[in-house]
């Protein structure tokens, strides 16, 4: 939050900001030694976050209020207080008056007066949401905001490395602080993969790109849910790690931890003791897929942070360009170079990642060379189903967005024709397109989210979002998971066995059902119950897309 404040102060100098205003407290009433007062702030622009620095005329105590968290209570004189908005109290629309009411105690014979400096923390001028937000969200039987919040919290629970002071997951702590490269490079940070604690960069980078894409397209959903800072944090966490992994222009660590020993340990990452070797790709052991996907993630990240921290954004772009160069000049599949990845995330091909990376670099740089190269290398024809390994349809959607060429439209339509009811995929009795036993819901969600992105380009905007109707199982299903980070003994959480129920706070699945819609709420059934960073990625963005539609009163019937 302090970081947010700094960003604002910089943005403020840059663009005149919405500024600080001095306001007086209106004393509503006082009795005995109690007072009640109110600050009213007339707003001339949309606000995403605020801070109030209050000075009371006499010392006060025991203040109660409902809008913020105290950053300072009293100071040395007992007269100085600093209040920062609660996550769900940050958003206010231009033209309204924000009121902050509080009550407390005073000493002496006279009730206190107070003045406050009100500071607008909005910072990012691009995040101002449309007016539809405050005029009411379309009524739905699903609480998309809650799902958005909980799915994001899942990523916070998957964090590896040193956790910041604002970590919201009480049972998590610092872990894997000795993750290092073969030359002792610091490789701490990033996300644990799934139920396991290996850091597999290939799916992690895909996750990052997908989270960034959803944010760039449907920012207003995050603002509405009070999660603007949280999604930025979720995107930045793996990006900071990728920067560490990229140790030379043509050298990239792509995995920390070894699947065998890691999978043999059922315990919290805080308690791991096994060796965690790191593996990298180089010119002689290339990996165009993982280098391409990491370039895509960093280019997308540079767009996310462009107006928030231009230094950080530029750093990401430099890495993205170098990695793209590495990926295109030294071709190969990373799982052929790094055996330790092959059993878990073996790559099918790298052409799709090179196309995907090119189209993201084009967006971030405006350099048409990247677009031309993406067009030349992307796989053609109908997509099988996008995921950590296959970005065919996602790439087609972005290529169509920037070129409007018919060939992309044709391939997108061919893909969705096979995915929609009556196409070439089997459907479960409950109505879900069934691609594969592993993470069946993940594939359906990935394609449903692709359909939402396509609908934003007016490609079958009335047909495709109904694909999401086929994944409602997720919203009705039990919230359970197979993730060890959440399921293991912890003194605070008070959990003591593998069989004890997990903490039901995260939105993490189930991520698979049988082709007959069967589902078993059993942690040992990891095919149906394991969670993974990549499983939640398109889901996270798809929910943002649905919430965005709800804010604009455009939700398709199946999703209401």
Residues near ligand NAG, by CB under 6 A: 3, 6-7, 10, 170, 173, 309, 311-312, 315, 492
Nearest 5°: phi and psi at 263?
-75, -15
Residue 49 Cβ vs ligand NAG, minimum distance, rounded to whole Å: 15
In whole angstroms, what is the distance from residue 226 CA to residue 230 CA? 8
Residue 174 Cβ vs ligand NAG, minimum distance, rounded to whole Å: 6
For ligand NAG, the closer CB: 42 or 170: 170
Residue 13 Cβ vs ligand NAG, minimum distance, rounded to whole Å: 12
User: Which phi-psi region, left, alpha or beta, contains residue 184 (left: φ > 0; alpha: ψ -120 to 50)?
Assistant: left
For ligand NAG, the closer CB: 170 or 421: 170
Between vectors from CA 209 to CA 47 and to CA 240, what angle results, nearest 5°?
A: 80
For ligand NAG, the closer CB: 12 or 324: 12
Q: What order do you get walking across the sheet with 97-106 strand by strand? A: 26-31, 34-42, 97-106, 60-65
CA nearest to 511, candidates 405, 424, 436, 407: 436
For ligand NAG, the closer CB: 309 or 486: 309
Alpha-helix residue ranges (DSSP H) falling in 420-523: 440-455, 473-476, 484-487
For ligand NAG, the closer CB: 309 or 446: 309
Residue 530 Cβ vs ligand NAG, minimum distance, rounded to whole Å: 24
CA nearest to 391, candidates 424, 355, 445, 363: 355
For ligand NAG, the closer CB: 6 or 248: 6
Residue 172 Cβ vs ligand NAG, minimum distance, rounded to whole Å: 7
CA nearest to 1, candidates 127, 167, 128, 153: 167
The tokens of 506 are what? 């995260």
**How is residue 462 annotated by DSSP?**
T
Residue 167 Cβ vs ligand NAG, minimum distance, rounded to whole Å: 9
The tokens of 165 are what? 């002071």
3-state secondary structure of 438: coil
Query: Which residue numbers are catalytic?
Result: 521, 530
In whole angstroms, what is the distance from residue 25 CA to residue 83 CA? 14
Strand 26-31 to 34-42 pairing? antiparallel
The DSSP annotation for 518-541 comes to -----TT-HHHH---HHHHHHHHH
CA nearest to 35, candidates 104, 108, 109, 99: 104
CA nearest to 85, candidates 1, 8, 169, 28: 1
The tokens of 410 are what? 């044709």
Peptide bond into 510 cis (omega under 30): yes
The tokens of 417 are what? 């024709």
For ligand NAG, the closer CB: 164 or 170: 170
**How is residue 461 annotated by DSSP?**
T
CA distances from 558 to 61, 128, 385, 533 (A): 52, 29, 22, 27
The DSSP annotation for 138-149 comes to PP-SS-HHHHHH
For ligand NAG, the closer CB: 21 or 315: 315
**How is residue 36 annotated by DSSP?**
E
Q: What's the N-to-C CA distance of the chain in angstroms?
A: 34
Residue 544 Cβ vs ligand NAG, minimum distance, rounded to whole Å: 24
For ligand NAG, the closer CB: 3 or 265: 3
Residue 485 Cβ vs ligand NAG, minimum distance, rounded to whole Å: 12
Residue 146 Cβ vs ligand NAG, minimum distance, rounded to whole Å: 25
For ligand NAG, the closer CB: 317 or 474: 317
Mention every residue, 6+ apart, whose C-beta is less than 8 A from residue 156.
167, 168, 169, 172, 230, 233, 234
In whole angstroms, what is the distance from residue 453 CA to residue 467 CA? 12
Residue 128 Cβ vs ligand NAG, minimum distance, rounded to whole Å: 20
Mention every residue, 6+ apart, whose C-beta is less than 8 A from residue 147.
475, 507, 543
Tell me the sheet residues that pair with 83.
Answer: 52, 70
Alpha-carbon torsion (469, 545, 419, 518), positive or negative: negative
């Amino acid at each position: 939050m302090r970081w947010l404040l700094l960003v604002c102060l910089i943005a403020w100098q840059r663009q005149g900001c919405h500024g600080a205003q001095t306001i007086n407290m209106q004393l509503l009433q006082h009795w005995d030694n109690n007072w009640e007062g109110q600050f009213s702030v007339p707003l001339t622009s949309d606000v995403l976050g605020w801070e109030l620095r209050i000075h009371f005329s006499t010392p006060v105590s025991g203040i109660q209020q409902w809008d913020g968290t105290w950053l300072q209570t009293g100071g040395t004189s007992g007269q100085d207080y600093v209040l920062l908005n609660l996550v769900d109290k940050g958003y206010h629309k231009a033209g309204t008056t924000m009121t902050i009411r509080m009550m407390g105690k005073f000493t002496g014979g006279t009730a206190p007066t107070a003045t406050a400096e009100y500071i607008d923390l909005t910072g990012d001028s691009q995040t101002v949401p449309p007016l539809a937000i405050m005029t009411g969200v379309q009524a739905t039987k699903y609480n998309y905001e809650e799902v958005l919040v909980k799915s994001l919290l899942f990523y916070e629970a998957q964090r590896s490395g040193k956790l910041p002071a604002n970590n919201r997951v009480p049972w998590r702590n610092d872990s894997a602080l000795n993750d290092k490269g073969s030359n002792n490079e610091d490789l701490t940070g990033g996300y644990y993969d799934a139920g396991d604690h290996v850091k597999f960069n290939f799916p992690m980078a895909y996750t990052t790109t997908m989270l960034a894409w959803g944010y760039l397209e449907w920012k207003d959903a995050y603002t509405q849910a009070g999660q603007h800072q949280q999604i930025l944090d979720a995107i930045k966490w793996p990006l900071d790690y990728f920067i560490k992994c990229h140790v030379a222009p043509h050298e990239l660590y792509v995995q920390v931890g070894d699947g065998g020993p890691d999978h043999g340990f059922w315990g919290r990452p805080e308690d791991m003791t096994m060796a965690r070797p790191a593996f990298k790709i180089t010119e002689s052991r290339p990996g165009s897929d993982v280098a391409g996907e990491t370039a895509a993630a960093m280019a997308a990240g540079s767009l996310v942070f462009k107006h928030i921290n231009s230094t950080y954004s530029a750093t990401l772009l430099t890495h993205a360009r170098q990695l793209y160069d590495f990926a295109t000049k030294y071709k190969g599949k990373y799982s052929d170079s790094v055996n330790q990845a092959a059993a878990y995330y073996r790559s099918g091909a790298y052409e799709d990642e090179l196309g995907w990376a090119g189209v993201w670099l084009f967006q971030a740089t405006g350099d048409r060379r990247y677009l031309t190269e993406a067009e030349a290398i992307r796989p053609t024809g109908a997509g099988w189903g996008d995921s950590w390994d296959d970005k065919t349809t996602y790439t087609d959607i972005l290529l169509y967005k920037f070129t409007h060429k018919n060939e992309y439209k044709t391939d997108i339509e061919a893909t969705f024709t096979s995915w929609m009811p009556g196409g070439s995929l089997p459907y479960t009795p409950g109505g879900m397109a069934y691609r594969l036993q592993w993470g069946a819901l993940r594939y359906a969600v990935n394609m449903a989210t692709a359909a939402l992105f396509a609908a934003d380009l007016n490609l079958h905007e009335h047909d495709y979002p109904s694909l999401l109707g086929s994944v409602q199982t997720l919203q009705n299903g039990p919230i359970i998971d197979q993730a060890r980070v959440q399921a293991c003994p912890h003194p605070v959480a008070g959990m003591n066995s593998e069989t004890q129920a997990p903490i039901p706070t995260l939105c993490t699945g189930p991520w698979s059902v049988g082709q007959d819609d069967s589902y078993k709420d059993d942690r040992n059934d990891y095919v149906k119950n394991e969670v993974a960073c990549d499983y939640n990625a398109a889901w996270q963005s798809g929910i943002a897309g649905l919430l965005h539609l709800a804010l604009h009163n455009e939700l398709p019937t199946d999703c209401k």
